[in-house]
Amino acid sequence: MARTIGSHGPTTMEAIRKAGLRLIFQHGYEAMSLRQLAAEVGIQPGSLYNHISTKQELLSELIQDHINDLLRELEAALRDRHGAVERLRVFVAFHVGYHMTRKREVFIANSELRSLDPRNYEAVVALRGAYERRLADILTDGVAEGVFDVVDVQVATFAILSLLTGLCSWYRPGGRLTKDAIIAAHEKLVLSGVMPRSAEPAPVGGGQSGHTPG
């Protein structure tokens, strides 16, 4: 049995969040019980209620905190970046890099939306919409600048996000391509999809290591 670490304070809450993230990722939200979560952390089941009121609250906070982190870190990455092409490059690099390192959070945010109650679902969808609008704004600005040729910004936004997030289903550290090479490949795919062929810029980054793909 895990060592009891106490039932109060930020340290225990952080342990609950990490254990909850791990258990939901491994077993799914419905299969994880609060008793199992308490045992993983090393506290009595009743002590969980000093930190969370329900399992639903924990799931909602994990997903919302993930998307808030995503938004905050994206804003930092885009700060002082100018021009739609540069900002789109930064968006792609940030999104791919983040999703390489936060696979559990991304998986839960996508696969467990169905498990949220209506109020929490609406809150998460609103946050996701804010992130999607950051990309949509870049594409809209690119069209206005005359550097992007996009038939429908909303369709392009969803298509790009699906492409970039799809990396989570196949990426494994230590594969054939370096992180920079994977980012460069996605950058080329995205830019070639929104820029007139005559205006496509040369790729940035690259490099390979000697293992199997992803």
Looking at residue 194, which CATH number applies to its domain? Answer: 1.10.357.10
The answer to whether position 204 is within a domain reads: no
Name, in order, each residue with C-beta under 8 angstroms of 84's C-beta and a sequence gap of 6 or more. Answer: 138, 139, 141, 142, 145, 147, 148
Count of structural domains, the chain? 2
The answer to whether position 213 is within a domain reads: no
pTM to 2 decimal places: 0.80
One domain for residues 65 and 47: no
One domain for residues 192 and 122: yes
In whole angstroms, how far apart are CA 200 and each of 85, 193, 194?
10, 9, 9
One domain for residues 47 and 119: no
**Per-residue model confidence as pLDDT tens digits over 121-178:** 999 999 999 999 999 999 999 999 999 999 999 999 999 999 998 887 777 777 787 8
Domain range enclosing 102: 56-199
What is residue 95's three-state secondary structure?
helix
pLDDT score of 47: 84
One domain for residues 143 and 178: yes
Say if residue 60's pLDDT is above 60. yes
